[in-house]
Amino acid sequence: MKIEGSVVIVTGANRGLGAEYVRQLLDRGAAKVYAAARNIESVSNSEAVPVKLDVTSQADIDALVQTCGDVTMLINNAGAIVGSRILAENALENAKAEMETNVWGPFNLSRAFAPILANNGGGAIVNVLSAVSWMSIKDAATYAMSKSAAWSLTNGLRLELARQGTLVVAVHPAFIDTDMAAGVDMPKTTPHQVVERTLNGVEAGIPEVLADDTSAFVKKSLPNHIETFYPKVAAPRP
């Protein structure tokens, strides 16, 4: 689909990657960009339309559907990371919090907006996932769980929404240079690159966007060389 003339809602649009999505969408000629955030006063782009949204609130989602009936693209960008090991003391609470935002948020928003997208010609849903959709990190294992689930959700949506002409795009970045990864001492991709590759992918009709070299490496390597990431996995008994 074309970005020019589109009407887009971006969740988590007040900072970081979300704010960059808003900026580039407007630069590419989107007719309207709804910038969704819990606190609409935190949306600084004066050309966007601020709308209140906590992605974990069904009441907020229902209100948004009534306000944004002209949407042709939904970008599920809002995300949460607590950073927890599976056996950490508060792992269950941490995992639930991450799943609420990273899985059930896109799940409920996509279900709510799918009929609107159908009525408006099909459009697109973009889910911002992660390189850890395909692997895990010990100190952020619950976050990786949520992104793996969100990847499966994305694949399921793609199958269901194909008949109404809705493009469903999975975006996989590694570490991005935003506040969320401020404490990570690793190479980081710029928000500009992630968004640019995403929007190029949407316009090209590509269902999966590898936002950086790390994600491309993980996707290429994991299926055929799982020992690269899990070298001590025991072989099955004969």
At residue 179, the pLDDT reads 63
Distance CA 110, CA 133 (A): 19
Query: Could you tell me the two tokens for 96?
Result: 């639930």
Task: Please report, in tens digits, the pLDDT of each residue of the chain (238 residues total).
Answer: 999 999 999 999 999 999 999 999 999 999 999 999 999 999 999 999 999 999 999 999 999 999 999 999 999 999 998 878 999 999 999 999 999 999 999 999 999 999 999 999 999 999 999 988 888 888 889 999 999 999 999 999 999 999 999 999 999 998 786 566 445 555 668 999 999 999 999 999 999 999 888 888 888 876 554 444 444 444 344 3
Catalytic residue among 21, 34, 143, 230: 143
Distances, alpha carbon 178 to alpha carbons 39, 53, 85, 150, 183, in Å: 19, 21, 22, 21, 10
Q: For residues 211 and 201, what is the distance between their CA atoms, to the nearest angstrom?
A: 10
d(CA 63, CA 34): 13
Buried/exposed 105-134: b ≥16 CB within 10 Å, e otherwise:
bbbbbbebbbebbeebebbbbbbbbbbbbb
- 34 annotated active-site: no
Token pair 């960059």 in the structure block, residue: 20
* Residues β-bridged to residue 209: 171
pLDDT of residue 238: 38
**Predicted structure pTM score:** 0.89
What pLDDT was estimated at residue 177? 67
Q: What structural domains and CATH numbers belong to the chain?
A: 7-228 (3.40.50.720)
Nearest-CA neighbor of 140 among 188, 197, 102, 178? 102
